[in-house]
Chains A and B, each alone.
Chain A
Amino acid sequence: MDDSHGFDLVAAEPLDDVMQKIAEHKGCGTTSGSSGKASCGSSDGPEDMAPEIWEKVKNHPCYSEEAHHHYARMHVAVAPACNIQCNYCNRKYDCANESRPGVVSEKLSPEQAAKKVLAVASTIPQMTVLGIAGPGDPLANPAKTFKTFQLISKTAPDIKLCLSTNGLALPDHVDTIAAFNVDHVTITVNMTDPEVGAEIYPWIFWKHKRVTGKEAAKILTDRQLQGLEMLTERGILCKINSVMIPGINDQHLVEVNKAVKSRGAFLHNIMPLISAPEHGTVFGLNGQRGPSAQELKALQDSCEGEMNMMRHCRQCRADAVGLLGEDRSAEFTTEKIMEMDVSYDLKSRQEYQSAVEEQRQAKVAAREAELATLQDAEASDIKVLVAVATKGQGQINEHFGHAKEFQIYELSTSGAKFVGHRRVDLYCQGGYGDEDSLETVIRAINDCVAVFVAKIGGCPKNDLIKAGIEPVDQYAYEFIEQSAIIYFKEYLERVKRGEIEHVQRGDAQIRQGALIEA
């Protein structure tokens, strides 16, 4: 068994060197060196990334788009209290079918959380990451958060520890975070301008007072940026989350991107606002809309020249369990885990991870071979989006009617690039199609020229063709990127031969509300 990959023993000695390199690297910047942009955690593979950073992120589903097909994470809801109020959050709303951050069904004590982590890790060998993300702010509950980390690092030292914070209390806890070997921290930064912040945060709780307006936003942004600097100085990888709120911070996020990049953040995740009225948030109730798919992509694209953008975020719940896009939390309720007989089997976990590594290398090799032939072809400015139905493993292996989401790839002569995903209702329920759901799917992937599926029925096929989206099932169970490049080569040839006309597709809708369980 090859031990060179799979496990970052968090306390291992050589990591100090790695940490130092990362700190010096300051956010894997867009250096002028021949390697170009080191795209830690983005959709690209190791070939354009500093190897020491790839080593740290490659098995982290929330940092590496590539890893999220193979590795799972779990969040434990040990941190209910929060120290700020956001206009996109309503702490009262809780529903097991709802997929949105800040929401959980069950609070856990640190001891229950530790048991749950072991139970999940024993059942799901691909579980490599434990995060504390709320439902409040982990650092507004420091005793519970750090007690949980302490218990887990003792019993399952191979599991990576992460936390996600609004940053207000961050500077006070950086040393503790470093002491617990927490190697990934996410800070939600929606603004660096207090004028903008006053529109997003009605108040913060600061030094025993409730502070409002621009004064509150100024304190928050100062603390966030200070915390970010302190973490990157210590070599702790920092991802920035930003919620894109059209008309409030959409333009401003370009500046936020520069501010966090210059302070060493290595990945920026711009997410669409979720603001359904039934969630009862301020934004939901006052009709503040979220961005369209193309608005979101345009902002992500415009920031990408500056730093690596995360495109695969599923905005999951603070108690999510499993691979991104699938939630197995219902299998691990407190009642169930307390009854489970847990044995932590490091060996079977390592074996799983070795198998994943082989699979990954096969996928990369397939893509590289195909890309080489594409680059031999004529140059073209054409760029198209395609949607892919996949269950993971980097393959086109999902039936159109069973897909709960589609992955979106942008195809050009430089290759196939993952640019996002679109959630959809289950189209196929009870074995037969439902017209309204098909319309929802078409709206969600309306900016794509084709949809790649493992299988598709006759009726939806015709409707997709009518909507201008080509259903493609000839690459069933093949690798996504390799197939996409083959498809794109043929697309260019068909355009050249005049068989099809290349036209700009319209916009698509980002789905709001609950993810319906299968």
Chain B
Amino acid sequence: MAYKIVASQCTSCSACEAECPNVAISEKNGTFVINPKKCTECIGHFDIPQCVAVCPVDNTCIIDASYPRYQAPGA
């Protein structure tokens, strides 16, 4: 799985962009989006997903269940 940003709730504050260890977050049409191909759910980097921890609006960075769970390389 990967994380996704609920566009209607995003304030475009950009806090997540700088925190993402995978540089998976970028601005698109005024709000921020997570590239699911790059998102590792922060597994192997941090205990909690950084976008979730820094986002000022609760339940805005959420799991996108349409992607399979991220597998750390070699796991």
Contact = CB atoms under 8 A, between A and B. Distances in A.
Interface of A: 80-83, 85, 91-92, 107, 135-136, 140-141, 205, 208-210
B18 interface: yes
A482 B60 CA distance: 57
A82 B14 CA distance: 9
Contacts of A209: 46-48, 53
A106 B17 CA distance: 18
Given A208-B46, A209-B48, A210-B48, A85 B13 contact: no
Interface string B4-44: 00000101111101110000000000000000000000000
Contact of A92 (B11, B15, B47): B11
B15 A83 contact: yes
Given A208-B46, A209-B47, A210-B48, A140 B53 contact: no
Given A208-B46, A210-B48, A136 B15 contact: yes
A107 B56 contact: no
Interface residues of B, number: 17
A92 B54 contact: no
Contact of B53 (A80, A91, A92, A208): A208
Contacts of B75: none
A91 B50 contact: no
13 contacts: A80-B11, A80-B13, A81-B18, A81-B54, A92-B11, A135-B13, A140-B15, A141-B14, A205-B19, A205-B54, A208-B19, A208-B50, A209-B48
A208 B54 CA distance: 8
A81 B53 CA distance: 13
Given A208-B46, A209-B48, A83 B11 contact: no
Given A81-B17, A107-B12, A135-B13, 8 more contacts: A83-B54, A91-B13, A91-B57, A140-B15, A141-B18, A205-B53, A205-B54, A208-B46
Given A81-B18, A205-B54, A209-B53, A91 B11 contact: yes
Contacts of B47: 208-209
Contacts of A205: 15, 19, 53-54
Nearest to B16: A81
Contacts of B53: 205, 208-210
A137 to B, nearest CB: 9
Contacts of B50: 208
A81 B27 CA distance: 13
Contacts of B46: 208-209
Interface string B35-75: 00000000000111010011011000000000000000000
A92 B48 CA distance: 24
A140 B54 CA distance: 11
B14 A80 contact: yes
Contacts of A136: 13, 15
A136 B54 CA distance: 12
Contact of A80 (B12, B19, B57): B12
A209 B56 CA distance: 14
Contacts of A107: 12
Contacts of A80: 11-15
Given A91-B56, A92-B57, A81 B48 contact: no
A88 to B, nearest CB: 13
A81 B14 contact: yes
A176 B4 CA distance: 35
Contacts of A83: 15, 54
A209 B54 CA distance: 8
Nearest to A84: B56
A113 to B, nearest CB: 15
A85 B11 CA distance: 14
